[in-house]
Chains A and B, each alone.
Chain A
C-alpha cells in the first residue's frame, strides 16, 4: 500500500497543485462576477504620449548640437529652478558644441557648495568645468526628480517628456475618445496644489505648467520659441543628458555589425567546406 502510494506520488502532487489552482481560479472568476472591476479614472483617461522623432533615434542617429544647446537653455532658464542634473558635469557640455571658454562661463554662473574640514565652515564658490550641476533643494510641495536620467527612467522617454510638458488640459472640458471626463466621473476633482495632466500616470501632477507662453526663452539661433519647439528641444537635451555616449555607441555598433557579418560569412564558408563530404 505504502509503495503503491510512493510510486504514484507524482500524480498526488500534481493533483494537489492543480486542485489548488482550480480553487484559486474559482475564486478569481466568482470575484470577477460578483464584483466586476470598475475602470478607475486614471485607467480611463490616462493618455499615452504621441511619438516624437529626434535625430538621435535609430541605429545611425546623431545628436543635433544646435537643438541640444537650445534645450540646455530651456533647462537652465526654466527647469533648473526646481530640477537638478547631478550626474552631468559642466565639462560634458563641450560634447554638445560649447567651447572650453563657454563652459567655464556657464560653470561660473552656478554656485557649488564647499565645506572647510578645518573650520567646519560651509560656503559656496563659483563652479568650475569639473563640477557636476549642483543639487537643487526645493522647499515647495512635491519632490522634483533629478533630470539626469529622466529620459531613461520614464516609459516613452523623450516622447513622454514632450507630451507631459505640453499636456496640461482643463479637466472641465477634457475628452478622450469622445468621452468627457466630467460626464464619466462627475466627482473628479484635482487636489489642491496639483495640476491636471492626462499624460501623467495618475492625472494629477505637482509640477505647474513649466512652459506657458511663446518666447519664454529667447533663442540665440533665431529658432521660433513656440511651446512645442521649446519642449521638443528640452526633451532632446534630456535624451543627451541621460545617454551622453549614444553617438559613440551607434558608431561602435555599426562597426561591430559589419565585422560580425564578414565573420559570419567566412565562418559559414569554412563550415560548408569542412562538411562538404559528410551527409548529415
Chain B
C-alpha cells in the first residue's frame, strides 16, 4: 500500500529500534498517521472532520467509562444515580454534560464528514470499501446513541425506547414477538435497561474496531482530494506529519472550543426538558421527539401515513431504515467517473438541494406532526429517495462534466497563479 515515495520508518533511538524489531507497532503508526503517509497537498478544511470524529469518539469513551463507574442500570435507581453523578460525584456534572453533548458533537462532525464525501465523490472507486465501512460506523453510532439516551431513564428515555422498539412490531406476523424478545418484556423495563447498558458499553469499542478498518481501507488508495483526480507523483503529496497533524491540531482546537461553549454555558440546549422527569409508563409526554440527530429519519418515518399493499407503519419503518441502507449502494448508483462536484455542474445542484432537503427533514422531525409539517415532510422525504435512487443515477448518465486538471499540483498552481501553469520548479508530473 501507499505510494513508492512514502518515507520509511527509521527509528533512531536504540529503544525504538529494539521495539520496532520485535513489534513493528511504531512503524505501523508512522505509516498510518505519521510522516510515512503521503496525503494530497490540496485538502481543504472539510477534510478535518474525520480526525475530529475520532477525537469525539475518544471523548465519549473516556467520559463514558468514568460515568459507568457511578451509574446504576436499574429502573428503580437509574434516574437517581444520574442525579447523584450531577450533584455528589467530583466533577460529575462535567463528565455527564461532556458525554451528553459529546454525542451531539460526534454526530455533527460525522454528518459534515458524510456530506464532504458526497460532495467530493469519496465513495467512488477505488474507495468504495472506505465508504461502506463508514456507513457501518454510522449505523453503529445511531444504535449506540439511541441506547445511551435510554440510560438516564427519564420520560424521553422511556418513551423513545417504546417508540424505537415499536418499529420491530411492524414486521408482519412475528413482529410483536420480536419486540417482546428484544425488550425482555412487554414494555421497556429493567431487562431492557440492563441490556441497553451492556450494549451501550460494548458498541463504542466495535465502532473503534471498524474505524481501524475504515482507515486501513483508506490507506490502500490514499485520501481523496477536492479536485477528485488521482495523485500522479510526489509533488502532489505532503507527509501526513507534520503537515496535516498541524492542520488537524488547530482544527481540533476550534472543535473543542465549540464543544466547551456547549458543555459549560448551554449544556441542556440540545436536550429535552422532559428527560429531567423520571420515566413514568403511565404518563405519555405530549410530544415524543428523539434527539436532534435522528430528526430527519424520524420525519421520514412519520411521513408514510397511507396504507397501500403494506400497512403505513411498515412503509414508514422500511423507508426509515431504507433511507440509510441506500447509502450502501451509492457507489453503484452514481456511475459518473468524475469524483468532485467541482467538475459536475448538475450533480452539484442536486447535492445542495439534498443538503436543504435534509435540513428541512430535520426541522419537520423535530416539530409536532401537524398537517402543515406532515405535508412538508412528505415532499422532502420524496425528494430524499428520488435524489439517491432516481436523480443521481440519471445525472451520472447524462451529465456533461467540466474538464479535469491534469494533476493536483497543476490545480494548486493554477489557483495561486491565476492561470493554468504546470511549472513547479523541477517537479513537473512525469506521466
A276 → chain B closest CB, angstroms: 11
Q: Which partner residue on chain B sits nearest A10 by CB separation?
A: B389
Q: Which of B42, B261, B274, B374 contacts A28 (CB 8 A)?
A: B374
Query: Is there contact, CB below 8 Å, between A278 and B243?
Result: yes
A220 within 8 A of B: no
Query: Is there contact, CB below 8 Å, between B273 and A257?
Result: no
A4 within 8 A of B: no
**Segment from A188-196, A205-213, A248-256 that makes contact with B:** A248-256
Query: Is there contact, CB below 8 Å, between A32 and B371?
Result: yes
Query: Is there contact, CB below 8 Å, between A257 and B261?
Result: yes
Q: Which residues of chain B have a CB within 8 Å of any CB of chain A? A: 41-43, 80, 83, 86-87, 93-94, 97, 238, 242-243, 246-247, 249-250, 252-254, 256-257, 260-261, 263-265, 267-268, 273-274, 276-277, 286, 303-306, 308, 312, 315, 319, 322, 329, 333, 370-371, 374-375, 378-379, 381-382, 385-386, 388-390, 393, 412-413, 416, 424
Known contacts A21-B382, A22-B382, A25-B378; decide if A253 and B264 are in contact (CB<8 Å): yes
Q: Mark A235-252, 1 if CB is under 8 A from B, else 0.
A: 000000010110011101
**In the bound complex, how far is the Cα of B41 from the Cα of A17, in angstroms?**
42
Query: Is there contact, CB below 8 Å, between B304 and A201?
Result: no
Query: Is there contact, CB below 8 Å, between A28 and B41?
Result: no
Query: Is there contact, CB below 8 Å, between A152 and B268?
Result: yes
Q: Which residues of chain A have a CB within 8 Å of any CB of chain B? A: 10-11, 13-15, 17-18, 20-25, 27-29, 31-32, 37, 59, 87, 92, 145, 148-149, 152-155, 201, 242, 244-245, 248-250, 252-254, 256-257, 260-261, 263-264, 267-268, 270-271, 274-275, 278-280
Q: Which partner residue on chain B sits nearest A59 by CB separation?
A: B265
Which B residues are in CB contact (< 8 Å) with A27?
Answer: 305-306
Which B residues are in CB contact (< 8 Å) with A244?
Answer: 87
Having A11-B389, A21-B378, one finds 7 other A-B pairs with CB under 8 Å, namely: A10-B389, A17-B389, A25-B375, A145-B277, A154-B273, A268-B250, A279-B412
Query: Is there contact, CB below 8 Å, between B413 and A279?
Result: yes
Query: Is there contact, CB below 8 Å, between A11 and B393?
Result: yes
Which B residues are in CB contact (< 8 Å) with A13?
Answer: 322, 389
Query: Is there contact, CB below 8 Å, between A260 and B393?
Result: no
Query: Is there contact, CB below 8 Å, between B304 and A279?
Result: no
Query: Is there contact, CB below 8 Å, between A274 and B246?
Result: yes
Which B residues are in CB contact (< 8 Å) with A268?
Answer: 250, 253
Query: Is there contact, CB below 8 Å, between B243 and A274?
Result: yes
**In the bound complex, how far is the Cα of B268 from the Cα of A201, in angstroms?**
21
Query: Is there contact, CB below 8 Å, between B83 and A148?
Result: yes
Query: Is there contact, CB below 8 Å, between B306 and A14?
Result: no
Query: Is there contact, CB below 8 Å, between B249 and A267?
Result: yes
Which A residues are in CB contact (< 8 Å) with B370?
Answer: 37
Known contacts A244-B87, A250-B265; decide if A21 and B303 are in contact (CB<8 Å): yes
